[in-house]
């Protein structure tokens, strides 16, 4: 029996993978260490979506390699040579080879390096897990995607779409709820194309999951806009169910159709504008989250201006802003890159626009009173989510998984501040 330390970075799917790795570790007779200094072996579930993230992973790998080390997740699959350069003795495990966890760990503990990067897992549904948050059940609904984006390394790591069976997912959700989870996160590389390979789709899945008995809320994870037109109306109808957070994460990436074409995104800015408008018109209080990449190699000043105009027009509630960084193995990495100063200038301008826009949007919630589900402790209180998945912070005492009536008294660009009603 060994003490194993597991940590994860990146998207919710990476954290779900780490929960399953921890579950397999415990089921295999080992124990989980609380820190790398207390462990016999370290496992890091990596992310490689951006240069800055990959550099952070490398720094962390260096700090963990003094003990037997397993590097899992996207980075070893997409950039095996990079990982081996900085941790020659580390064992490697891909995003779709988690079923090999115990074999890889046992080999590493015995001083034998083992590499398991092939896609050997048919499904990640039903595996044991140790949750990072007792109130949140992260359920992976698929692996891989159908897109061919010129800037994205994810497909190199996770491959093409493999959707998990709807009935298996519903049973997993039932298990999560039975264990006391109050939030269910449906996650994958791209939820929008879920089921296209097995004759179903996301609206049908959301309906099946929301139909599971129990008191819980469902968060529908990220979906690319290119698949929205075929499922848009039925998906929005599924949000009428009171168990479903009125929240969509739809990464538009650019407001310029020319840039979107060169990114091979498969959608136009109008696709994003349309779904956001329909959601707001249908529900009123509905949270739209999106992602923007600034400084794509072919982005001109006019392209950038179109992005700024799109944000001003749609006014999404959450904008994840990133500077473009070339990722090894992607098509755009070989193109001539923009001057760093230009990218910084554009990023700063957009950051200021987003900060003002999101603050204005959040201030509209001041005076609102309604139910908030608390899901995370903070340094000076607790955080919850309302029906529109807006983050609400309160300084009073409350239990994780508890729902309370909260009144919003203030706002920041990133959150709402509230008080629990007496």
pTM of the model: 0.93
Residue that the structure tokens 């820190």 belong to = 35
Q: What 3-state class would DSSP assign to 218?
A: strand
Reading phi first (left if > 0) and then psi (alpha if -120 to 50, else beta), residue 73 is in left
Q: What 3-state class would DSSP assign to 217?
A: strand
Residue that the structure tokens 């037997």 belong to = 68
What strands, in cross-sheet order, belong to the sheet with 115-116? 31-32, 3-8, 41-46, 69-73, 91-93, 115-116
Distance (Å, whole) CA 326 – CA 31: 39
Contact in structure between 127 and 97 (CB atoms under 8 Å):
no
User: Of 412, 421, 417, 320, nearest to 378 (Cα)?
Assistant: 417
pLDDT at 49: 85
Which alpha helices (H) appear in 80-132, and where do they start and end? 80-86, 101-109
User: Of 183, 166, 266, 282, nearest to 232 (Cα)?
Assistant: 282
Q: What 3-state class would DSSP assign to 225?
A: helix
Tens-place pLDDT, residues 208-267: 999 999 999 999 999 999 999 999 999 999 999 999 999 999 999 999 999 999 999 999
Specify the pairing of strand 69-73 against strand 183-187. Answer: unpaired
Structure tokens at 374: 């608390």
For residue 418, list its beta bridge partners.
408
User: Of 322, 310, 371, 405, nearest to 51 (Cα)?
Assistant: 322
SS (H, E, C) 295-337: CCCCCCHHHHHHHHHHHHHHCCCEEEEEECCCCCCCHHHHCCC
Q: What 3-state class would DSSP assign to 25?
A: helix
Distance (Å, whole) CA 320 – CA 401: 27
pLDDT at 271: 97
The residues, ordered by sequence, that sit 6+ positions from 108 with a Cβ below 8 Å of its Cβ are: 41, 68, 69, 70, 90, 91, 114
pLDDT at 394: 96
Specify the pairing of strand 142-143 against strand 162-163. Answer: antiparallel
Q: What 3-state class would DSSP assign to 113?
A: coil
CB atoms within 10 A of CB 320: 14
Distance (Å, whole) CA 60 – CA 39: 15
Contact in structure between 72 and 121 (CB atoms under 8 Å):
no
Distance (Å, whole) CA 296 – CA 112: 42
pLDDT at 125: 87
pLDDT at 119: 82
Point out the residues of the chain with pLDDT beneath 50: none
List the end-to-end C-alpha distance of the chain, in Å, as a whole number. Answer: 50
Tens-place pLDDT, residues 91-100: 999 999 999 9
């Amino acid at each position: 029996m060994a003490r194993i330390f597991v940590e994860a970075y990146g998207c919710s799917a990476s954290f779900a993978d780490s929960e399953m790795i921890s579950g397999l570790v415990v089921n295999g007779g080992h124990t989980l260490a609380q820190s790398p200094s207390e462990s016999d072996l370290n496992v890091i579930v990596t992310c490689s979506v951006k240069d800055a993230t990959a550099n952070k992973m490398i720094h962390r790998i260096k700090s963990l390699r003094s003990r037997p080390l397993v590097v899992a997740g996207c980075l070893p699959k997409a950039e095996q040579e990079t990982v081996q350069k900085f941790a020659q003795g580390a064992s490697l495990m891909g995003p779709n080879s988690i079923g090999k966890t115990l074999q890889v760990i046992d080999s590493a503990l015995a001083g034998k390096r083992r590499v398991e990067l092939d896609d050997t897992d048919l499904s990640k549904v039903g595996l044991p897990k140790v949750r990072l948050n007792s109130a949140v059940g992260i359920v992976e609904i698929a692996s891989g995607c159908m897109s061919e984006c010129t800037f994205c390394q994810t497909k190199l790591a996770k491959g093409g779409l493999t959707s998990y069976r709807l009935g298996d997912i519903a049973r997993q959700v039932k298990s999560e709820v039975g264990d006391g989870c109050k939030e269910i996160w449906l996650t994958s590389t791209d939820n929008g194309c879920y089921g296209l390979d097995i004759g179903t789709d996301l609206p049908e899945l959301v309906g099946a999951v929301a139909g599971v008995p129990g008191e819980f809320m469902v968060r529908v994870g990220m979906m690319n806009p290119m698949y929205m037109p075929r499922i848009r109306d039925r998906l929005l109808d599924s949000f009428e169910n009171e168990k479903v957070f009125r929240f969509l994460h739809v990464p538009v990436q650019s407001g310029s159709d020319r840039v979107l074409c060169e990114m091979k995104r498969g959608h136009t800015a109008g696709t994003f504008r349309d779904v956001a408008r329909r959601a707001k018109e249908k529900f009123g209080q509905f949270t739209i989250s999106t992602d923007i990449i600034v400084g794509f190699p072919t982005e001109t000043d006019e392209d950038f201006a179109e992005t700024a105009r799109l944000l001003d027009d749609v006014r999404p509630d959450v904008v994840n802003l990133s500077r473009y960084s070339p990722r090894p193995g992607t098509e755009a990495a070989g193109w001539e890159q923009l001057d760093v100063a230009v990218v910084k200038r554009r990023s700063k301008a957009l950051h200021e626009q987003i900060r003002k826009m999101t603050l204005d949007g959040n201030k509209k919630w001041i005076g609102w009173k309604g139910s908030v589900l608390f899901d995370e402790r903070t340094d000076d209180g607790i955080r919850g989510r309302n029906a529109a998945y807006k983050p609400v912070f309160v300084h009073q005492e409350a239990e994780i998984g508890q729902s309370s009536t909260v009144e919003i008294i203030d706002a920041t660009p990133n959150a709402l501040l509230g008080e629990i009603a007496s």
